[in-house]
Structure 1
Amino acid sequence: MASGYGAWTIIVVLVVAYLGTFLVVSAQPCHEGSMSSQCQCESHQPGTLKPLTLSFSLPPTVTHIHIHNCNSTVTVTSNAFEGLDSLEDITFQSISHLKLESSSLHLIIFHQNNFSLTFDSVWRLSLAEDAIQLQGEGGPNMKENIIIRNSFITNLQHNAIVGSLHELRLENVILSQAPAPRAINTGPEGASVFINSMDASTHGLSSEWLTGKISHLSIINSSLTLLPGAFTGVNMTGVPTSRFTFLNNQLGYPKWFPGNTTSVPSLPTRSLDLTVPRQGLIINASNNKMTCSCEDTVWLREDPQTDLKHIIQQSIKCLEDKAGSPVARCSAVSNTGLVSAIVVSLTLSCVTHWVQLALS
């Protein structure tokens, strides 16, 4: 990430392409901290670099913009990309602190080529409400893809990412606070969502943080605290089938974790409730670890019982290394409690009846 570079050698290089031909624009000092088509991170004091604000004055034929290597704060202001409707690729890479303000990356894409937005190695990534909205008008073959990898996400507000996405990838990312409800909307097209090595254990995933129609949801090698209703906004839809992959994940936030003073259940109510199509769901689940107290298995035990719950239950390995099914143990506890309640009720009824007879 950006901290590994020397402050005197870090520059922002803006790479643009006109009508498909790449052109590296020569670097010039930024004026009053703003960033146009020709500038670099300018030394402000020894060992530091000025914060930058992105404001472009580029022709609408630009197809590629790459901004990288900046050990300072880069702010993308509202409407910064307005009118750049030919863009096929935007990349932010190796930036210390990147802030996208509201309406900063609203694009209507008219060409028929695919569009990719990539955030790579951003030490602190902040996406304000309505920051990214992608609207593809290039026809059914045009695909919109977003990748966030090797980054810390410090802020993910309501509708931070909205689009008719073909693919969304969150790879090797850490969420330093819970995303807002409905932070990401993948749209109606049936996106593929790949979550790989994501750490959301400390603050959790909020109710309906991810929404939209999704054809393939893959969650692998991640540490997740699922708050109630975390995935209820996901509508699995696919032609001809939908797929859900859930492998090698750590669920919940046990109290005995280092530095933890509270315990968050592993699978609370409605935490993995996906809307499943009539034709069913292809599920691949294995080697998922969690604590297995009755509090941790609420979602597995609550109605309705589904194939998804059964397969997820079979994939779970209890951290306490307890033998047997956690659901069966909790069902036994519940039944014992019910029998005890019935016995107490009958005993009280008999005592009341005896007292009434004695008084008569």
Structure 2
Amino acid sequence: MSRPFSYLFYQDDNLARDPMDVTAATTATLTDGSSTYDVIDTPSTTDNNTLAISRPADKCFQGTPASSVALPEPARALSAPEPTILLYQIQQVAEDVSQLVGRFGYKMARTVGTSNIKNALFADQKLLRLPCLKYADNFTCRVTKRFAKHPTDYTNSAPLLWWLWDELLDYLTPSYSTHGCKLEFTPARETDIALPYTISINLAYKHGNNNIELTASYGGLFHEQRIFDAAIAEFRLPETTKYGKSIMAPLNIDRYTHKEKGCLAHTLDYLVPRSGSLWRLAMKAFSLDEEETLVVALVGTCKAEDDHCYMSTNQGQQCLNLLQRLPPEAREYIIKEKLVGQRNGPYSKMANQPPGPKD
């Protein structure tokens, strides 16, 4: 039984599995012309391969310099990864985004996708490199939205996850669904890994699930392509019953009241709680100069009476829980300025009215 978000749910310690247990299970479908082969063993997407949720940081980071986080350039060439390994790592980060959207709702998805917040969260793009690609993870990108008349070409180079962040947020947010898109990646420069294939990714609803379709194109005389599918698990806040009424069951990270002072590290740990998440690891380079900008943006994700799109009570509570982890001075500022639940914000009905008739 698939439990991709088990790090968020309470488990009996006697039933807990080795967090590093990974087995080969699922079968990838390869499509080459008109032939289909079901022969590739990949790391299991049905097993819990994530580490248990990390405890709040013992010491809050103080704007870790990018140079102290980035890895040194390798001295020798590395072999290219199998596409199955690449897809597996992409699937993991996609499910991190799925839990973020499912827990906090559409306002959070829109907020962390804005350019200023994205640039602040991922101040050092190199930290977004996929482990299997390492220093070859540097691409320009063409994005084609479904039903769009023309593609969008991004000529600046960045890691694959930098481009994927926006599209995953768009695709996985129900209220703003783009109905899918295609991302085509072109290596930006010569690197230590010479990929024998080019990469494209389709995000679409397929086989009854949100789906990642990765195409590895090898070219050659017969234009060989290998196509792999992986489902993106949908996160839903757990429910239970009490006195015959349905209520939200507490997540593992909410089972105990947060009693520490709070800091940015605690806040980001709560936002992306999976231990080892590439998104969270990349946030280590967050600059304290951007703290106030991030705080104000996160407050704006809380539920308000005049929200344009639906936000559940449980999602609203997750946003409030997030604010409890902010630094004390930030919480004092929020209370003083009465920022929580402010009306007429960027996600209000007023701000999202359809344009009126032209004069």
Query: Same-fold call, TM > 0.5?
Result: no
> Higher RCO, 1 or 2 (CA under 8 Å, sep at least 6)?
2
* TM-score between both structures, scaled by the size of structure 1: 0.24
Normalised to the residue count of structure 2, the TM-score between the two structures is 0.24
Please state which structure has a larger fraction of its residues in strand: 1
Rg (Cα) greater in structure = 1
